[in-house]
Amino acid sequence: MVVGEEMTTAQSVRQRLVDRTVGGSRKFLGRLKKRFSPRGLILAYHRITEVSSDPWGLCVSPRHFGEHLEILTKHGPVLRLQQVVEAIDAGDLPRRAFAITFDDGYADVLHNAKPLLDQFRVPATVFVTTGEGRQKRGFWWDELDRLLLQTDRLPDTLRLGINGETYTWELGPDTRSKEEDSWRSRSWKAWEEAPTERHTLYRTLWQLLIKLPENEREQVLDKLTAWAGVTPAVQPPDALLSSQEIATLAADGLVEIGAHTVTHPLLSALSVSAQREEIQQSKTSLERMVSRPVMSFAFPYGNFAPETVSTVCEAGFSCACSTAVDIVTEDSNRFQLPRVQVMDWDGEVFASQLSKWLSRG
């Protein structure tokens, strides 16, 4: 009995050791395979322009974007996103394949990026958010930026009710935007230390607003606009792609239009049926605009729940891009394609960043 028990214990210990060893070597083999298998990169851009404030690093200057394209075309084939997906399926991904994507649907992609894509004959995919709210007032993060970081003078105290809670903020000496702050505002990124109370407030409100449904968020923005004493924010008419511009961008086939929902929500916070509506509706309206099937999708904020992935698949898309930072290999899941976000780097920094990314794994 005792012997039996001892044996059982010894066996289970051994089994655990075997499991660990085999598991470990499997992981090691997995890593090794990843290291030596063909690897590609899907690059995520948003805007090709220069603006006075860019807290999320969404803008790359046209000059830098031109330098990026020159480097990309020298170092590997730049494929269409759909070609990358086909290559993953077929197991014949070229060794250094690149694909270019743009999120959100800013008009500078047509006016500034497209001529450069034409010049280098490089394809790209543009993921467009289709809702009417987008056309009326632009994206909420841009409105928040204009109100808090680009308004000369703000009142001392802000009292706001958000999602059933009342918040109070004091701006103190930062009610007036000081000359010496302006360069900091221009270069400040939301993940860096906040240089003034305005920046702290911007980041705090961003975190609160991202979780709200669109209509509640717009109510908060209306209150903020009244508090700031500025005329209701109107997105410059050329800031976002109109339906006509989306059709123009897609016309010669170099640029693929992909879907990016209707209202740019945090999909994982929505019911399955609301997710389905966001995903399916953006596909349908874009297909109407470009008169061809829309096959690629990108998750807003890179956010999704397990059921979001199956919903995208059922809606008839052939791939979806996340914001998980990684290389693409033949083992990548085509409905959770990793991407790397490109910042406003010059050619030299961009080239070294590319080799850093490509040596991951």
CB of 188 to Zn ion, least distance (A): 21
| Identity of the residue, 174 or 344, whose beta carbon is nearer to Zn ion in the bound complex | 344
User: Between residue 93 and residue 152, which ones bind Zn ion under the rule CB under 5 A?
Assistant: 103-104
CB of 62 to Zn ion, least distance (A): 21
CB of 11 to Zn ion, least distance (A): 53
Give Cα separations from 65 to 113, 223, 344 (angstroms).
Answer: 8, 38, 8
User: Between residue 222 and residue 241, which ones bind Zn ion under the rule CB under 5 A?
Assistant: none
Tokens representing residue 267 in the block: 């999909």
CB of 153 to Zn ion, least distance (A): 31
Task: Identify the residue whose tokens are 């010059």.
Answer: 346
CB of 302 to Zn ion, least distance (A): 9
User: Between residue 292 and residue 321, which ones bind Zn ion under the rule CB under 5 A?
Assistant: 300
Residue 245 lies near Zn ion (rule: CB under 5 A) = no
| Identity of the residue, 140 or 188, whose beta carbon is nearer to Zn ion in the bound complex | 140
* Paired strand residues for 40: 97, 328
| Identity of the residue, 67 or 256, whose beta carbon is nearer to Zn ion in the bound complex | 256
CB of 15 to Zn ion, least distance (A): 48
**Burial of 103: CB neighbours in 10 Å, binned 0-12, 13-18, 19+:** buried
- Name the 3-class secondary structure at 342: coil
| Identity of the residue, 42 or 87, whose beta carbon is nearer to Zn ion in the bound complex | 42
Q: Judging by DSSP bridges, how do beta strands 165-170 and 157-162 pair with one another?
A: antiparallel
Closest CA to 141 of 213, 89, 207: 207
Closest-by-Cβ residue to Zn ion is: 103
Residues 6+ apart with CB under 8 A from 230: 147, 151
Q: What stretches of the chain show up as alpha helix (H) in DSSP?
A: 2-36, 62-75, 81-90, 108, 114-120, 132-137, 140-149, 179-187, 197-209, 214-228, 243-250, 272-290, 306-314, 347-358
| Identity of the residue, 43 or 154, whose beta carbon is nearer to Zn ion in the bound complex | 43
* Footprint on this chain of Zn ion (rule: CB under 5 A): 103-104, 300
